[in-house]
Amino acid sequence: MNTIKVGVVGTGYIGMVHLEILRRLGGVEVVAVADANKGLASAAAAKFGIGRVFRDADALIADTDVEVVHDCAPNNAHFDINANAIRAGKELLSEKPLALDSRESAGLLELAEKHGTLTAIDFCYRYYPVVQEAASRARRGDLGEVRAFMGHFLQDWLFYDTDYSWRLDPRVAGQANVVADLGSHWFDLVQFITGQKIVEVLAELHTCLPRRRKPKAGPLSFGAGDAGESEEAAITLDDYASLFLKLENGARGNFTTCQVAAGRKVDLEIQVFGSRESYAWSHVHPNALWIGHREKANETFYESPLLQTGETRKYATLPTGHPLGYHDAVFNLFRDYYDAVAAKRAGKPYRPAFPDFRTGHEMMCVIDAAVRSSKSGRWVEVG
């Protein structure tokens, strides 16, 4: 069997995660990497024995051997890279958020549909086995009607005013920081577990630290401020956001995200309250799903190939009780995606269950609505 040939654009932190996980898959081979920082790309290539190194994404896209492109560049490069890859006939797995705003993401979605591209977007949190289990149970009716939902995504990565990230710069990140970067993951979880779309939001975006020290050497993903020279920068994007949300069926929910919460690292939590039972999941203990009951003891469902139900069993990739981590969630998403790529290439039918550019566009619409709502102080419809 011929391996599927992959090119990865962007070899920073998340690009290296993609490379490692791609290596764990069978039948997939990375043949090219590209990064504006050519040294970074060369190091990645040397580490994994990848033959071709480009400074420029377009050159990688032009490589006819490359069948699938992974877009791991910053937000403001997503549109061009994704659009060019689609036009070049590549399959495409993009990092999130999909673009700078919902106008861009609508364009990408239309383009991908026109070209029949097999797209995916890296909303990896839904790929923890017990999150899949929650969604599966909800779909088969265990949850009942969704009545309410809530959650948060907290970090302390921007706790000090000497912390800085390119995500705070609207030219690179778009109109929002934390509600886009972290919020989009959570919104995807809500829709995935409940099977319903977010249709309306009322949001408050807030900047707790309106002045920060920005490294002169150029913005890193997350840079400790004591490294090198810095200059004062006015911050306009959100490091705190809180939202009221409505689903299609009228269910109410709310979500808060904040990156100045000392002691919270990647503290994503979601709770869904249905008419029959409840679910709660926290990324801090990512292998356990809490199932709440009124009439009997609550349950803690731990990922396990023996206990997972239906199709979710395949995501519990180790014997019962061996904890899975973030890498394994990404692995599960990639494996689903490449199963579809292989099926498409073989002319076989496939049913893409992974998040795709439609999902990515929906999340951009929620983010856009949140930004507009925060300005008006009013409920805003999504999309």
Q: Which of residues 234-253 bind its own copies (CB under 8 A)?
A: 240, 242, 244, 252
Q: How far is the CB of 80 from its own copies (least distance, A)?
A: 26
* 24 binds its own copies per the rule CB under 8 A: yes
Instruction: Rank residues 137 and 361 by Cβ distance to its own copies and give the closer one.
Output: 137
Number of residues assigned to the chain: 383
Stretch that binds its own copies, among 76-84, 92-100, 187-195, 290-298 (CB under 8 A): 290-298
Stretch that binds its own copies, among 106-114, 180-188, 315-323, 337-345 (CB under 8 A): 315-323
* 375 binds its own copies per the rule CB under 8 A: no
CB 324 within 8 Å of CB 317: yes
Stretch that binds its own copies, among 180-188, 191-199, 225-233, 263-271 (CB under 8 A): 263-271
Of 8, 9, 17, 370, which one interacts with its own copies (CB under 8 A)? 17
Of 36, 38, 40, 48, which one interacts with its own copies (CB under 8 A)? 48
Of 152, 212, 213, 214, which one interacts with its own copies (CB under 8 A)? 152
Q: How far is the CB of 115 from its own copies (least distance, A)?
A: 29
Q: Which of 149, 187, 152 is nearest to 272 (CA)?
A: 149
What is the strand order of the sheet 119-121 is part of? 52-54, 28-34, 4-9, 68-71, 91-94, 119-121
Dihedral angle computed from the Cα positions of residues 24, 29, 35 and 41, in that order, rounded to the nearest 10 degrees: 70
* 271 binds its own copies per the rule CB under 8 A: yes
Q: How far is the CB of 350 from its own copies (least distance, A)?
A: 19
Handedness of CA 290, 296, 297, 302 (dihedral sign): negative
Stretch that binds its own copies, among 41-49, 104-112, 345-353, 361-369 (CB under 8 A): 41-49
* 339 binds its own copies per the rule CB under 8 A: no
Q: How far is the CB of 303 from its own copies (least distance, A)?
A: 9
* 350 binds its own copies per the rule CB under 8 A: no
# residues near its own copies by CB under 8 A: 86
139 Rama class: left (phi>0) / alpha (psi -120 to 50) / beta: alpha
Q: How does DSSP assign 66-115, residue by residue?
A: --EEEE-S-HHHHHHHHHHHHHTT-EEEE-SS-SSSHHHHHHHHHHHHHH
Spatial distance between the Cα atoms of 45 and 53, rounded to a whole number of angstroms: 7
Cα angle at 286 between 285 and 291, to 5 degrees?
A: 85
Of 9, 86, 247, 260, which one interacts with its own copies (CB under 8 A)? 260
* 345 binds its own copies per the rule CB under 8 A: no
* 327 binds its own copies per the rule CB under 8 A: yes
Token pair, residue 199, equals 């249709």
Token pair, residue 191, equals 């829709």
Applying the rule CB under 8 A, the residues between 185 and 214 that interact with its own copies are 202, 204, 206, 208
Instruction: Rank residues 234 and 262 by Cβ distance to its own copies and give the closer one.
Output: 262
Strands 198-206 and 240-247: antiparallel
